Amino acid sequence: MNLVIAHSTQIAFAVSRALNCTDRTENGDYTNDTGSIVITSVEPSLVEPAPYQYYAGGSDFIKTLPFIPTRYLYGIRAYNENGKFKVSDEDKSTVIRLHALVEQAAEVIFASNNGSEAQALFAILCQAAKAGCRTSRMWLTTLSNRSITYAYRNRESGRNITRIARSGFVHHGMNFLFRANVEQAFAQMYGKQSFPMERMDIAALWLLCNSYDNMKVKFPKKTRYGVGISGKWDGKDAQLAPTEIWCKESDAQKVYENFMKMNGKTVTAEVVEVNPKVEWCHELLNMATLQEVSIEELGFLPARTMAAADLLFEKGLISSPRTSVSSLPHHLKRHVERRFPEAKAFPFRPEEQIPYCHGIITTERTPLFLSDDEQRVYELISTRTEMAFDSAKCIEVGIMANIEGIDIFGTAELPDNAECVPGSIAFTVSGVNIFSFSNRTPETLTAVAFLHDLNELVNTDGDTPSLLPVGSYRDCGACLQRLIDNGLVKYLLGDIEPTEKARVLLSHVGHLELSDIGKYISQIDEVDALAENRKPTKPVMREYENWIHPLILSLITDKKSFVSKVSGYTCPKCGNHGLTVFPATVACECCGFSIPLHFHGYDLTDKDIEQLVRYKYTSPIYGFTNTRGRKFCESLVIDNRFGVTFSAKAAKIYS
């Protein structure tokens, strides 16, 4: 039998109806009369990456920095009890139930609309349930029967699913390393949990501060002037204007007076170009534009918008909101045209260009019993869907004329069935106006404008077909929400500005390139390369570790922030520079070599430091704490990469 695992009970219910699995098993799962398909669900948070307390012996504060674990742990969620991590009885029973289902399954299928990180957690769930059979993925776009059956028939399996999961693991690892290191480094300076953040938050904050500062700079106001002419030909309205813009009002006034002499008169003009035109005024919404429009029209912050959109999706009222694509695949053409006859000319794209979730559209289900937030978000999506399919076919006509020795140009739009050919026409001048404009910069920065700029930077070329369109690393709305929640950004009736806390943060990390948007995007490209199977996992993570290690080391060895003293030891790596002692580490300011003063729950003594520096190993030390909270005895060594680690089992260390 095939086992389908959904990430919510609502999705499991919708899948059961679409696949005709309305019978119930003893455990309450859905199945059919032959038992060939079983549909169950788990909570999205059942599988979680291990928190950093897992590596710190249960402590909520890490003394060892830079903190780079030797491996990245994921598993069934656990709670901390006296420094030990335990799984609840309820979660244990869930895993046991899944294990029993997996043992009977020929294929395990993950039904979800989320991206690479959700697939990574699903892979961990399969490991916990000891799934030895093949796995595959149903990409849910909408919860309509037709869409679910299409996703089931066209589910992906094999290497494609493996690369998606591996890219999700690397995203988790990168975010974990950055968050634990940066947050704990600032906690040592300002107190525990002073700056909770993720990698993208710093990049967004850097962009925000720069945009805000640029808007506050007062540029000289430059006013320019233009002249416009309105008129009619054959009963149709047209607007014409000279191509020239005048810097002096007096020059524009002279042209205006000359044109006024022709007001009400008929002049000879020429049709120079006739083009058929299909005007698409609006695109379908995606995750980024939905959050932007919600801020502008509803006043909803991104977290509020996505919470309502997720509920609408699970109720089967909209397609998946977690998408970066605004187009529709060709297999939806017949379905969409039946609902929206005006969408016959809509530019549907080939299937291979939209492999996963498409633009957000409403379904045919009638919305009932919605909350106020859900109702407002649904109406917003419904309106934008109708606007996206409402095309206007017309003929665009280019017109040129010469009035008082000045060439003027313009365009007019005719109905689609109108007949027009290039040639001379009679144009009657009906009005003349003079206008001015200024390039003075605005005085405030709005949340919607900033979110748009951030999406433009981060999601550039994000619709590449071979890559995942969804990932939390590109959720710019969630990033803005975290900045506001953490007190780094003020949000005042649509306007935003960085707080003093944000300025302090950037003053420390700005020179470390942690706030560089370009560096952030290059890291994402590395993970995208991993997702395409162009790179194995370990080299990508090692390269990221090599990048983040010196940055965090320079942060915690800042002599302006921490007390320091010069030791009498010579650096074992470069051999030509002394070591400096800081509260968290002993470091070489020349080559970047460092020894943590706190390692796996144990504070290194002066004797331990001396042995490491002189001999590159220590005597056996008792006092280290493992992940279960138990103490053990082991020796420390400096490996060939000049990192501090435990000695190999075969190593013979004599005290």
Q: Which amino acid is at 305?
A: T
**Which three-class secondary structure state does DSSP give residue 652?**
coil
Say if pTM beats, i.e. exceeds, 0.85.
Answer: no
Model pLDDT, residue 467: 43
- What are the pLDDT digits (tens) for 235-244? 778 888 887 8
Q: Give the count of alpha carbons within 13 A of 570, CB side only.
A: 6
Higher per-residue confidence, 509 vs 490 = 490
Residue 359 pLDDT level (bands cut at 50, 70, 90)? very high
Higher per-residue confidence, 83 vs 478 = 478
- Extract the tokens encoding 269: 């003009």
Q: How far apart are CA 428 and CA 262, in angstroms?
A: 9
- Give the pairing of strands 423-438 and 223-233: antiparallel
Q: Which amino acid is at 290?
A: L
Model pLDDT, residue 277: 67
Of 200, 218, 208, 220, the closest CA to residue 445 belongs to 208
Q: Is the dihedral of CA 599, 600, 603, 605 positive or negative?
A: negative
Model pLDDT, residue 440: 64
All domains of the chain, ordered by start, with CATH? 2-157 (3.40.50.140), 170-216+443-556 (1.10.460.10), 223-280+392-438 (2.70.20.10), 287-389 (1.10.290.10), 565-646 (no CATH)
Share above pLDDT 90 across residues of the chain, in percent, rounded to a whole number: 28
Of 413, 262, 272, 279, the closest CA to residue 345 belongs to 279
Q: How far apart are CA 98 and CA 103, in angstroms?
A: 9
Higher per-residue confidence, 345 vs 350 = 350
Of 160, 28, 168, the closest CA to residue 93 belongs to 28
B/e letters for 410-419, b = 16+ CB within 10 Å, e = fewer, are: bebbbeeeee
Model pLDDT, residue 378: 97
Model pLDDT, residue 170: 86
- Give the pairing of strands 2-6 and 37-41: parallel
Chain position carrying tokens 């796996």: 600
* Partners of 257 in beta bridges: none
Mean pLDDT of 1-7: 94
Model pLDDT, residue 19: 95
Share above pLDDT 70 across residues of the chain, in percent, rounded to a whole number: 93
Mean pLDDT of 279-284: 75
Higher per-residue confidence, 653 vs 17 = 17
CB 180 within 8 A of CB 203: no
- Largest interatomic CA distance in the chain: 108
- Residue 450 CB: number of other CB atoms within 10 A? 22
Residue 278 pLDDT level (bands cut at 50, 70, 90)? low
- Extract the tokens encoding 203: 């990049």
Chain position carrying tokens 């003079």: 434
Model pLDDT, residue 83: 66
**Which three-class secondary structure state does DSSP give residue 571?**
coil
Q: Which helix (H) or strand (E) holds 278?
A: strand 266-279
CB 304 within 8 A of CB 447: no
- What are the pLDDT digits (tens) for 531-554? 776 777 888 888 888 888 888 888
Residue-wise DSSP of 360-371: B-B-SSPP-S--
State yes or no: pLDDT of 507 exceeds 90. no
Chain position carrying tokens 């040639």: 423
- What are the pLDDT digits (tens) for 125-145? 888 888 888 899 999 999 999
Of 452, 406, 170, 438, the closest CA to residue 286 belongs to 452
Model pLDDT, residue 48: 82
| 464 burial level (CB within 10 Å; 0-12, 13-18, 19+) | exposed
Residue 463 pLDDT level (bands cut at 50, 70, 90)? very low
- Give the pairing of strands 266-279 and 392-403: antiparallel
Length of the chain: 655
Q: Which helix (H) or strand (E) holds 436?
A: strand 423-438
Residue 651 pLDDT level (bands cut at 50, 70, 90)? very low
Mean pLDDT of 374-403: 87
Q: Running DSSP on this structure, what letter comes out for residue 535? A: S
- What are the pLDDT digits (tens) for 464-473? 434 444 555 6
CB 12 within 8 A of CB 140: no
